[in-house]
Every structure is written in structure tokens, then in C-alpha cells.
Amino acid sequence: GAIVLYPGNGGGGNLYTKNEYKDFVFRFDFMLTEGANNGIGIRTPMGVDAAYHGMEIQILDHDAPIYKNLRIYQQHGSVYGIIPAQEHVVFGDLGTWNTMEIHAVGDRITVTVNGRVILDGDIRQACKGHNVSEDGSKKNPYTVDGKNHPGLFNKKGHLGLLGHGAGIQFRNLRVLDLSAGRQ
């Protein structure tokens, strides 16, 4: 009854939705193992680094010792490199289920974990409309991570489970397409 990424199997991989989504609510349950690092790709093409060619919402055991030097934009629930989560999520014991909801309408992204809003921001405002550097360089002074995010303003794209190696489980995945019937 779950989609499982097992630790120790040599990495991960990405699993994408068949459909593309513009405005949506994506709800799911997840269970972390120690050191789990995963992401949820939103509005991303397939086969690319979703953190840069779409958006990646962090799913991470950010209190694990291996992440002691974690940057604020890498915390659980952050729009990776763009908007840090406003609240540090305190999870229950590892091996318990948590619920997450990603609400994306236009440039506004809201992330709720276990009933608590931890991120509510506008991606365009966060980088002052500059998802890529003005001078064409690889350094972008407008993003929190200082990198270009050419796919940040994608109008639509796939949702993806972006596995990075440590164990994580997902269940009860549901997508409400808010743009169905709209252009």
C-alpha cells in the first residue's frame, strides 16, 4: 500500500506523474528513515534536475547528524534554493507517518505538514522576477542559493517523487487539479 525507496539499493530515481499540472493541491503521507533526503518535483519536465528546471519541494530528515551544515533553503518544506520554509518541522519518531500538502496556484506555493503551514510564498517575488542571472552568468544574486533556476516559472509540468537514496515511503497520494477546464 505504499511506494517505497529502500536505503542501500544504490541511489534512487525519479517517478513522475503521467499528466502535467498547472495549479493543484498535492496531498500525501510520507515516512522518513534516518537521513532520508527526497524531494517533490512540481511543474517539472521529465528527465531533468527538477530543482532547477522545475521546482523541488524538500522532503528531508533535516535533524539527522549528516545534515548538521544544512542551509536554510534546504530545510524540509522549502522551495529548494528559492524560498526557505518559515518553520522548522519537528517530526515524531522516525518510522511514523506524516502528512504533507503542496498547494500551487500561479506563483504562490504553500506547504503544510501535519496540519501546520510551514511555507507560504510567491516564487516570483522571492527572486524579484529573476530566476536566471541578468548577465547570463551562473551566479544569480536574486536566488537564495545563488544559482539559476530556468524552470522556476514553468506554467505547468509533471509532479515527481525525486529519490536521493535514503529510505522513504509514500502513501495516499492525491492530486486535485485546480486548473481543469481552465486555460
Which is nearest to 62 in space by CA: 72, 54, 52? Answer: 72
> What does residue 121 show for φ and ψ, rounded to 5 degrees?
-155, 170
Cα separation, 146 vs 141, in Å, equals 5
Quick: pLDDT tens for 3-46.
Answer: 887 766 555 678 999 999 999 999 999 999 888 888 999 999 99
Cell matching residue 134: 541578468
- Is the predicted pLDDT of residue 171 greater than 50, yes or no? yes
DSSP secondary structure letter of residue 19: S
Closest CA to 72 of 127, 139, 144: 144
pLDDT in tens, 82-94: 999 998 887 878 8
Specify the pLDDT at position 183: 46
Q: Is the pTM of this model over 0.85?
A: yes
Task: Name the phi and psi angles at 14, rounded to 5.
Answer: -115, 140
Contact yes or no for 155/143 (Cβ under 8 A): no
Among the residue ranges 10-14, 21-25, 118-122, 154-158, the one predicted with the least confidence is 10-14
